Structure 1
Amino acid sequence: MRFTEKCALFFMAVCIAIAAIAPAMAEAKAPKDHKIVLILPGPINDQSWNATNYAGLVACNEELGTAMEYVENVQASDYESTFRNYAERGYDLIMAAGTQFDEAANRVAAKYPDSVFCVVNGLVSKGPNVRPVLPKEYEASYLAGIIAGFTTETGKVGMVGGFPNKLMVRLMNTYEYGVRIGSPEAKANRAYSNSWSDVALGKQMATSMIDKGADVLFFYANQVGLGAIQAAKEKGVKFVGFASNQNDIAKGTVVASVYFDFADMYKWTLEKFMDGTLAPEVNQAGVAEGIVKVAYSDQVPDEVRAQVEKAEKAISSGNLLYFASEFPESLK
């Protein structure tokens, strides 16, 4: 074959290749053209779980250029109908904040293969279009426990979770272990509110724990925790914030907050979705991935901060507990 003929064939092959990929290139969407919605179980101003997730949405819209929408205060009885509503309207990505959405998301996703369903804190992926993202909350609660353990003076702490599901029990376990790093003989009064929204119940549960000797409280139950902070402030005990930075809710009462940087996590998730690499599995992120942060008040001494930092390094290295025997005697 002559050189000119080889060149002609090569040119034809290039043209065919370009023609093959051109439709795909033409179909690529700008960030703002993706139809995305976030479904929230509570209000965006709850200063806890829902506010944290909403902050992720805001970061994506401002920094990535998406036009992500949201719907708040969606009740359990409306989970499936809300998913169906957006899927039938052709939304590309339907996100929902909370493990409680797992069952409904997987059930509806099977009927709408053209939409991707992403449950934040999700544990279940039963189909190719179900792609949950799971923050490692138990790592964060471990850090919160360390702070509480060094803060308590009575050796008694109160801890309340929303519902006793698998994730909640695990993070409560690691919190309690963290407490004993700072206070080996500490006793933890554990309970579950079975509510995310009952502020009055949170105050009642916190008051009961304080009356039994707890001088440090930890609540991971969204708005329920706001009632607990009120009780802690009125009773003069300390509170360790969680999920979002709660330090400013009651200065002098909330000694520190261990929270999730959902701005980074949401951006990571949305970038993965838009470039087609968000996997149909449980995608996890925690301390090592930079989404767990600690905000201190001036009530937490440098020595305690150093121990939390040591714990963060241990978690990131995959050797969570190696430092447990290394705490100086002055902090035990």
Structure 2
Amino acid sequence: MKKSGRKEETIHSRLRSCRAHKNFIRWVVLGVFLLCAVCIVYPFSPRNEQPAGSVKMVVLLPGEIDDQSWNTGNYKGIMECRKALDVELRYEKNVSEADSEAMLRWYADKGYQFILAAGTQFEEPVSAVADEYPEVDFCIINGRESSGMNVCGVYPKEDEASHLAAVIAGNLTKSGTFGIIAGYPSEPMEELLDQYEKDVRSITKQRGFQKPEVFRAYANSWEDVQMGKDIADQMIAKGADLLFIYANKVGLGCIESAKENGAKVIGFSENQNQIDSDTVVASVEFDFGAIYKWTISQYLAGDLKGNKTYGIGIKEHIFKPLYSDAVPEEIRKKIEEEMRV
């Protein structure tokens, strides 16, 4: 009997040990889950409200600031933000993808606390570098992906802007044939161009065009002006009377072609009307001053969070339609209606 009792005691001891082990595992799993949840939503370091002059910040730009497109707009926005918020916000122009990781590390090593990179092409370099500098915060302007506790993305809702461009183009065309010329294919680029194409097709059909045509091409460059001209020449030869361009310096060649061949252009991201208002009949300008002021203000207030992207658009008043005399009042009123939110 005593021997049997010892066996029962041993069995019960083992059962208790097993239960304790299971409970321990449950607590470990729960702890890991809670830690992950905190990591996902934890705000940026410094994570508290900061005096404007106490944070060193820089923006990396992928091209020259005279491209009359993405880089020009960002540069103007940086200058406006500097003045409005009285912040130390410098910029580094013409940062290639090949050099971007080294440039990110250089500024992080120099004590910059908030490093912004303007363009989706910087998403991978930022992800590669951010873990090495946990006390530095990174933001990708136009970024749709953010991987890391100290990485976020702020992007203009470009599909909203391309919809506005489509309303203008769809109501101006005389041939019902359109050309789209962009720099590089990417998911955000495809989304905004798909929106534009869908809308111009719909609008021209409502106007009585039976078979509207849309040609789309990528230059696979932001800088090759001659490539832009060659692509535009081909589209215009096929009947396109309106070109929609989002290609930085490549767009300058497209505008030159349109001018030579009597076609019209809808500019995008920057006020391209000023290049040649007889050819560029309208532009949907991005107010990069508003974009940078929103982003920097949110950061200084401690309200930006890692592992998160923020989309801003018509509601935040960051798009400005600009017209030449070729755009009648009727179309302008349609744009006003579209922008009421």
Same fold (TM over 0.5): yes
Could you say which residue in structure 1 is the equivalent of 2:309?
Answer: 282
Is the contact made by 2:229 and 2:254 (CA closer than 8 Å) also made in structure 1?
yes
- Structure 2 equivalent of residue 219 of structure 1: 245
Aligned to 1:20: none
2:313 counterpart letter in structure 1? G
Distance in 1 (alpha carbons) for counterparts of 2:72 and 2:320: 16
Partner of 2:145: 124
| CA positional deviation for 1:33 | 3.0
User: Is the counterpart of residue 147 in structure 1 residue 168 in structure 2?
Assistant: yes
1:298 equivalent in structure 2: 325
Query: Please, which of 260, 267, 277 is the counterpart of residue 241 of structure 1?
Result: 267
2:50–2:301: 8 Å Cα contact kept in structure 1?
Answer: no
Q: Shift in Å at residue 279 of structure 1?
A: 2.2
Deviation by residue 1:282-318 (Cα, 9 ceiling, x = unmatched): 01101111111101111111111122222223xx3xx
* SS of alignment partner, residue 189 of structure 1: strand
Is 2:339 aligned against 1:312? yes
The residue aligned with 1:5 is none
Q: Which residue of 2 aligns with 1:46?
A: 67
In the alignment, structure 1 residue 273 sits paired with structure 2 residue 273: no
* d(CA) in 1 for partners of 2:66, 2:320: 20
Work out whether residues 149 and 186 of structure 1, in 8 Å CA contact, stay in contact via their aligned partners in 2.
Answer: no
Return the alpha-carbon distance in structure 2 between the equivalents of residues 28 and 142 of structure 1: 37
Q: Does residue 174 of the first structure (1) align with residue 174 of the second (2)?
A: no
The alpha carbon displacement at 1:190 in A equals 0.7
CA distance in 2 between counterparts of 1:187 and 1:176 reads 9
Taking the aligned partners of 2:118 and 2:321, their CA distance within structure 1 comes to 22
1:151, distance to aligned residue in structure 2 (A):
1.3
| The structure with more radius of gyration | 2
Distance in 2 separating the partners of 1:118 and 1:246: 27
CA distance in 2, matches of 1:310, 1:279: 34
Paired residue total: 288
- Flag structure 2 segments of 5+ consecutive residues without an equivalent: 1-47, 206-210
Corresponding position: 1:262 with 2:283: no
Which consecutive segments of 4 or more residues in structure 1 shift more than 4 A?
A: none
CA shift for structure 1 position 128 = 1.4
Q: Deviations over 1:181-213 (max 9, x none)?
A: 431242101111111111111111111111111
C-alpha contact 1:143 1:178 (8 A) present in aligned 2: no
Find the aligned partners of 2:321 and 2:203 in 1 and give their Cα distance: 17
Percent identity over the alignment is 47
More relative contact order, 1 or 2 (CA 8 Å, 6+ apart):
2
Task: After TM superposition, give the deviation of residue 28 of structure 1 in Å.
Answer: 6.9
One-letter amino acid of the counterpart of residue 229, structure 1? I
Segments of 5+ residues of structure 1 without an aligned counterpart are 1-26, 317-332
Letter of the structure 2 residue corresponding to residue 31 of structure 1: A
> When the two structures are superposed, what TM-score results if normalisation uses the length of structure 2?
0.82
